[in-house]
A = this chain, B = another copy of it.
């Protein structure tokens, strides 16, 4: 979540009306991009005819089958429109209202979702920590570990790292807003990055990686499906014309569109980072493993980077985040690099 706030107050303010125009050299987020043509085509095909609503349709049936192949086991699926919805619904199904959920200090569920997990779960506690082993024993009712992969820092967790999260005998949720980027970068299989490493539920992102707006809750614990169905419905996230979410995700998983898009985004970040390395006044402050580049820049470059990306105070003063996406072109990257004045 990024909204302009008064520097002094730290408050999250939303002003109406918004003003914006189409942008070029836009590395603010992977959600400023449009969508892949395959997604539009799938929606156009799905626009005809009459099918049952609320998920009882052939599109959703086919998507479920496709997921069962991809994850190499039985799964239940719940398409939703946003990552916040997916995360909050998933976490609510993994913790009682009095439970504690552990995440990293930079986790989206902690920083950017305005307490959605607390709201959906009926008041759980979310504790940001970099030290699970110390934090868990201090909690009254430890319930769930929530991790993001690829992380908000642009780091990719491999199967061993995911498995370590599940060593604490708590339930495990993966915020996979950039799961495709993690699979593309790690080369690990979806199964190895999830249930084989102890994950209970994955929110498999589509929106940031070429879809119009769909995230898929992939549930690996069948016994939670009925309850999650109720939560999904009463939260207003079970859309009536579900074919239009399922058709998007089906197209996304067809012919490896999800992986092709993610590989491209990752490659663009690598290209951008490669170009930034050695530029005077630019320091790359996190290893670039997926599609995000964090840089600390000299004062003379701040306006340029502030326009192209977001300032990122969590990682320090003068730090900016640049994100590439499926729609980023080599030309945009090169144009941005060329725009950096040499001292």
Contacts and interface: CB of A to CB of B under 8 A. Distances in A.
B122 A119 contact: yes
Given A81-B81, A98-B234, A241-B213, A141 B11 contact: yes
A89 to B, nearest CB: 8
A56 interface: yes
A235 B235 contact: yes
B10 A139 contact: yes
B10 A142 contact: yes
Given A213-B239, A233-B114, A37 B26 contact: no
Interface string A177-211: 00000000000000000000000000000011000
Interface of A: 1, 3, 9-12, 14, 16-24, 26, 28-29, 31-35, 37, 39-40, 43-44, 46-58, 60-61, 64, 76, 80-89, 96-100, 110-116, 118-119, 121-128, 136-142, 169, 207-208, 212-213, 225-227, 229-231, 233-241, 243-245, 313-314, 327
Leading 10 A-B pairs by shortest Cβ distance? A85-B236, A10-B137, A18-B56, A114-B234, A119-B123, A31-B240, A84-B236, A118-B123, A26-B50, A12-B140
